Amino acid sequence: MLNPISLAFKKAKDAKRPALLTYTVAGDSSKKQSLEILKAISNYADILEVGVPHNTPVADGGQIQTSSYRAIKNGIKMNDIFKIVSDFKKIKNSKPVIFMGYYNMIFQYGENNFLKKCKKSGVNGLIVVDLPWPENKIFSKKCKKNSINFIQLLSPTTSNKRLKSITKDAHDMIYYISMLSTTGGKLKVSPKKILANYNKIKKISPKKNCVIGFGITEKTISNFKNTDGLVVGSQICKEITRSLNNRQNPVINVSKMVSKLKKKIS
């Protein structure tokens, strides 16, 4: 039996399109609203990345920082985030959820406790921004034992030698960072170049699902139709901010946006 993440990729492949992955911050702008957003966008997205907000993020740009600080200010705690996922899973059990965050949150929870709680609440995978290879070797093994996908990151600065070692240790999914940027940066590299790097990864590691993230928006997404999956984050976070500023309902606006994104790659 395929794990839920691989199954989501397979379904997208069968439909001849990349999987759509969304990123929203847990607790943005409130626990209840972020759950509502997850429910609404899961009608279109294949995999949901749930951001675990941290207040000293070293890789996030302005939009995701704004969402994260808003969530923290509204009092979100780690246990609330697990609760959001388990509440979501009660309704959409088969939709994969991936946490994306910084290692200190896991470290303070205790690696083992954290993984236990992930399993219990239905988290399927983890992206830990500041736990690179080889520092993540032990933890990623622990994840595997607990049937949680540890998702390795690759970037344009990753050497070929590292690329080989990292993909070898990777589980079912790999995340390629499209360019030198924090999240939310404008796409400053040509899609052609990004796809060339993507294809290099696929050549070395054809069986693993590779997604591209950073700089993917409504404007750029259709350039990448021939890939395993695409992640949109900052544009969604920005839409939440915009909706709140205009006193509109972020749930409706964000779900409209995600539906459009899906159409562009279908």
Partner 1 sequence: MKLKKRIPVIDQGDRLGFWGGKFGGNFVPETLKKPIEDLELQFNKLKSDKNFIKERDNHFKNWVGAPTRFIKLDNLTKHVGGAQIWSKVVSDANGGAHKIYNATVHCLLAKRSGKKVIIGDTGAGYAGKMLSMAAKKFGLKCKIFMGAKDIKRQQPNVKAMKKNGADVIPVYSGSQTLVDAVSECMRYWVANCDTTAMCVGSTVGPAIFVRICGWSTSQISRELKVQLINEFGEIPKKLKLYNCVGGGSSSFGFWNEFMDYNKKQVEFIGVEAGGPSKSKRHAAPLTYGSKIGILHGAAQYVNQNSDGQIEETESISAGLDYPGISPLHCFLKDVKRARYTAASDEEALKAYQIVTKYENLRPSLEPSHAFSVAIKEAKKFSKDTVVIINSCGDAYKDRGILEKKLGKKYVKSN
Residue of 60, 80, 87, 111 marked catalytic: 60
Region of 35-43, 71-79, 189-197, 199-207 interacting with partner 1 (CB under 8 A): 71-79
DSSP symbols for the chain: ---HHHHHHHHHHHTTSPEEEEEEETTSS-HHHHHHHHHHHTTT-SEEEEE---SS-SS--HHHHHHHHHHHHTT--HHHHHHHHHHHHHH-TTS-EEEEE-HHHHHHH-HHHHHHHHHHHT--EEEETT--TTTTHHHHHHHHHTT-EE-EEE-TT--HHHHHHHHHH--SEEEEE-SSS-TT----S-HHHHHHHHHHHHHH-TTSEEEEESS--TTTGGGGTTSSEEEE-HHHHHHHHHHHHTT--HHHHHHHHHHHHHHHH-
Query: Is 3 near partner 1 (CB under 8 A)?
Result: no
Identified binder of partner 1 from the candidate list 3, 7, 74, 78, rule CB under 8 A: 78
Q: Judged by CB under 8 A, does residue 238 bind partner 1?
A: no
Query: Of the listed 28, 36, 46, 49, which one is catalytic?
Result: 49
Q: Is 44 in the site for partner 1 (CB under 8 A)?
A: no
Choose between 109 and 242: whose C-beta lies nearer to partner 1: 109
Q: Which of residues 87-116 bind partner 1 (CB under 8 A)?
A: 102-105, 107-109
- Binding region for partner 1 (CB under 8 A): 54-61, 65, 69, 72, 77-78, 102-105, 107-109, 129-135, 153-159, 162, 177, 180-182, 185
